[in-house]
Amino acid sequence: MNLRLSAACLAVVLGFSSCAVVPETGRRQLMLVTPDDEAKMGLASFTAIKEQEKISSDPAANARVRRIGERIAKSVGRELPNAQWEFVVFDSEQVNAFALPGGKVGVYTGLLKLAASDDEVAIVMGHEIAHVTSRHGAERTSQTGLVSAIATVGEMGMEAKNVDPQKRAMVLAGYGLLSSGAAILPFSRLHETEADSVGLRFAAGAGYDPRAGAAFWRKMSKAAGDAGKPFVLFSTHPSDEQRIANLEKLAPQYQALYETSRAQY
């Protein structure tokens, strides 16, 4: 088995696997991780983060994040496997937030300072929660595991056929390139775009204005500047321009949902 054949096998499996489906988009995805294992990993990671990071003692910030998070969790509209929702504010200047399997969500005070409204905070939290509901982390783990499995089979085949060590090293280097991101990066960008769409829907369903998405990302882009931004082809995220344009395109689709949901709060 050579690199070309192995890569072809990988493409076939990733292209036609129907192990799981993202409910909100209908996209089929490779899934080799069980929901129980995923939730356990999320809980373990969140426990470690809470031990390492400083948790904010600001009651207003914690109440704000909890209020927004609970509304978004309700907006998801379906039960997540083993979800025990928990919303924690971390005292850090990072302009960031994250969500982990099992319903664990963290928001940094830097994000709360940059966001001008609850709508903007909700857009970010909705995006992060959408990564979890769409099982993007488990999908990436499955993809990496598949590459590793194909590499192992390929190495065994080359060893059985006494392939020249130099050629064997070149093939294994190719597998390393695949597992390090050459085959996975497009999926990462797809995950980000999918989380933008699904997350915007979650936020709108929780009564938060979907138009805040593009506004917040313009602010994020301005704050970050151009320094250090990778070329989009090699980035795990869409460019700021692509993301803003997509959010502007999506917002009108969720405006009616927002108006209806807002009346409930």
pTM of the complete model beyond 0.85: no
> 139-156, pLDDT tens digit by residue?
887 666 555 655 555 555
Residue with tokens 């990462």: 188
Rounded to an integer, what distance in angstroms lies between the CA atom of residue 107 and that of residue 92?
9
> Quick one: pLDDT band at residue 254, thresholds 50, 70, 90?
very high
CB atoms within 10 A of CB 137: 19
> Looking at per-residue confidence, does 42 or 186 come out higher?
42
> 69-105, pLDDT tens digit by residue?
999 999 998 878 778 899 999 999 999 999 999 999 9
The reported pLDDT for the residue numbered 26 is: 86
Strand ordering across the sheet containing 86-90: 86-90, 104-108, 97-100
Residue 79, domain extent = 1-265
> 207-243, pLDDT tens digit by residue?
999 999 999 999 988 887 754 554 443 455 668 888 9
Is 194 a catalytic site residue?
Answer: no
Q: And the tokens for 135?
A: 């099982």
The DSSP line for 123-182 is: HHHHHHHHHHHTTHHHHHHHHHHHHHHHHHHHHHHHHHTT--HHHHHHHHHHHHHIIIII
**Domain count along the chain:** 1
> 190-200, pLDDT tens digit by residue?
889 999 999 99
Separation of first and last alpha carbons in the chain: 60
> 21-40, pLDDT tens digit by residue?
888 888 988 888 888 888 88
Rounded to an integer, what distance in angstroms lies between the CA atom of residue 251 and that of residue 63?
27
The reported pLDDT for the residue numbered 19 is: 74
Catalytic residue among 128, 139, 192, 194: 128
